[in-house]
Chain A
Amino acid sequence: MSVGHVARILEDNGIATVIIAVASFKDNLESMHLPRVLLTPFPLGRPIGFPNNKAQHIRVIKAALNRLNNVTDPKTVTTINEQYFSAPSSSK
């Protein structure tokens, strides 16, 4: 898991990290003891969401970035409640 290694080295050098990944990567990411991980229930290759659903992309990114200062313990992996084909409505 390349990005897991990158997260560890960045965090170790004073740059806070948050990862957005598809839920299929859960086991591999959890085992790497990473600072902050947001899982999305989306198909591989589309971790931020359905193409051109900007409202969904904004919700996912905001949820991930909010973890930067909301997470107080390392190795916190959570899954966002989203539907891949959700209508492009509110960005919340």
Chain B
Amino acid sequence: METLNDFKNSFQNGNRMDLNFKFFSHLTDDEAADFIEELLARLGTSLNDGRLERIAEHIVQGQTRAYSRPAKYNYEEGPFIRFRKNLSETKIALLTSTGHFLEGDDPAPLGVPNMSQQEAVNRIKEFLKEKPVLSTIPKNTPVTKLKVRHGGYDISGVQADQDTAFPLNTLSILEQQGHIGELAQFAYSFVGACSQEALKKEVQQEWVKLLKQQDVDAALLVPV
């Protein structure tokens, strides 16, 4: 017989694989039961008024509860630049951990060219041991040439519209409107589910150089 614990875990690595709800596995049984009970109540209400915002709010609350746990990285202080440039004069680069890359420039994670999204999901624990690879994406890249693969989150949102997490087009609009001075020629993306030690010790300085070469003033960073 399937237990509630089995049910919770089945969304992360089981027969109900759905990364939108992988957070279930981080809830206690009582929390998961409460979440489902409240979800059904809200669905019942929405059947009468058609409003879905209460559903989105509930999912966000569930995800927040699931990921509210002692943080792995605690820093007492950190670097901070007092930025004084006007946005209309600022050159900005986009860098995300969404796993986007340019068609024809597949980073071939784990040595596998053209890895499927499903394989990335299945091998996510191996990704967590790997050195991250930064993909370079020209800012005028057509949507049809932009690919995404990431085994740690549900990519259906960015497949529907890349700007839900990789807002290159939105930044281009703000550049055209003069809201920002300039969007850097290249945007960057990597799979954030990677070895944090390799990220800190082996690649970060290279990434700094890449952005420095573009002479950017600021970076918009988007984790997923």
**Which residues on A are within 8 Å of B, measured CB to CB?**
1-28, 30-35, 41-52, 54, 57-58, 61-62, 64-66, 68-69, 71-75, 83-85
Contact = CB atoms under 8 A, between A and B. Distances in A.
A83 to B, nearest CB: 5
Nearest to B82: A72
5 contacts: A1-B223, A27-B69, A46-B165, A48-B165, A51-B164
A31 B160 CA distance: 32
A69 B87 contact: yes
Contact of B60 (A1, A7, A43, A66): A43
Contact of B83 (A20, A22, A24, A69): A69
B67 A25 contact: yes
B90 interface: yes
Interface of B: 19-20, 23, 51-53, 56-57, 59-60, 63-64, 66-69, 71-87, 90, 92-93, 95-97, 132, 153-158, 160-161, 163-165, 167, 170-171, 173-174, 179-180, 190, 192-194, 196, 199-200, 204-205, 207-208, 211-212, 216-224
Contact of B218 (A6, A18, A47): A18
A65 B92 contact: yes
Nearest to B74: A31
Given A47-B222, A51-B157, A2 B132 contact: yes
Given A45-B20, A85-B53, A20 B220 contact: yes
Given A4-B73, A45-B158, 6 more contacts: A9-B200, A18-B219, A54-B170, A65-B87, A65-B218, A68-B87
A43 B63 contact: yes
A22 B82 CA distance: 25
A21 B96 CA distance: 10
